[in-house]
Amino acid sequence: MRILVVNVNTTESITRSIGEQAATVASPGTEIVPLTPSFGAASVEGNYESYLAAIAVMEAVRGYPEPFDAIIQAGYGEHGREGLQELFDVPVVDITEAAASTAQFLGRTYSVVTSLDRTVPLIEDRLRLAGLSARCASVRASGLAVLDLERDPAAAVDAIAEQAARAVRDDRAEVICLGCGGMSGLAERVVHRTGVPVVDGVTAAVTIAESLVRLGLTTSKVRTYAPPRPKVMTNWPPAGVRTGQRVPA
């Protein structure tokens, strides 16, 4: 099976790192295809950039020329998952929801440790809409920007472990979710520092996407995620955007 893993940032090194992380848990026979959107911000840290990424991710997938079996949106707390579910039949897995769903099997409550304080509200909103906030003890910020996480993994581990420890002690979290695609690969080191299970959204999403495909399940098309109706589109997609598919009718 082939799983598209789409970065929300336009920074290729993050795409590469996400792809490598995804590959570590992929089953034999699963092909992980990491994609970088063709437009948008180098790092997504707020609503404007996230809305832009939502569209860029959709166009990246629409432009992918080969068949595929599932889509992973590899951004934490980002907009756009519902659009992908309208455009495609195959399962769509958002790493925010993948991590939370997985964490809920391991402890009574979980906390998310993310990058900047300003991304906390985005994550909280996504979890609420996804019906996954009842057991969320807190969403905490490490204070590190997305690109800082990449540049200095050791400092990232320190900052994340510090907030994770507070989440366990003060917020009564029992599991920690790494709340940023760019944190992929740090889980093991955070476990060492906190003593509780640490869930990485990217690897969790790979196992969930594979599971849905193995179960033969696809997105329900009965109402919310029905394909877009045929429409007159103005100036979209713009020239230069890498895409070949039409909006399904």
- Judged by CB under 8 A, the chain residues 169 through 188 that form the site for a copy of itself are 172, 174-175
Find residue 176's DSSP bridge partners.
111, 198
Residue 168 binds a copy of itself, judged by CB under 8 A: yes
Interface with a copy of itself includes 79 (CB under 8 A)? yes
| Interface region with a copy of itself, contact rule CB under 8 A, candidates 14-22, 152-160, 178-186, 222-230 | 222-230
Residues paired with 5 in a beta bridge: 34, 72
Tell how far CA 118 is from the center of its chain.
17
> Is 223 among the residues that bind a copy of itself (CB under 8 A)?
yes
User: Do 156 and 180 contact (CB within 8 A), yes or no?
Assistant: no
Interaction residues for a copy of itself, span 109-128 (CB under 8 A): 117-118, 120-121, 125, 128
Q: Does 148 bind a copy of itself (CB under 8 A)?
A: no
Please choose, out of 15-23, 97-105, 149-157, 158-166, the segment that lies near a copy of itself by the rule CB under 8 A.
97-105
Question: Considering Cα of 210, then 212, then 216, then 218, what sign does the dihedral take?
Answer: negative
Cβ–Cβ under 8 Å, residues 53 and 79: yes
If binding is defined by CB under 8 A, does position 75 make contact with a copy of itself?
no
Question: Which residues in the 4-23 window bind a copy of itself by CB under 8 A?
Answer: 10
In sequence order, the 6+-apart residues with CB closer than 8 A to the CB of 83 are 54, 55, 58
Sign of CA dihedral 113, 154, 53, 101: negative
List 39, 158, 171, 189, residue binding a copy of itself (CB under 8 A): 39
Using CB under 8 A as the binding rule, whether residue 208 contacts a copy of itself is answered as: yes
61 binds a copy of itself (CB under 8 A): no
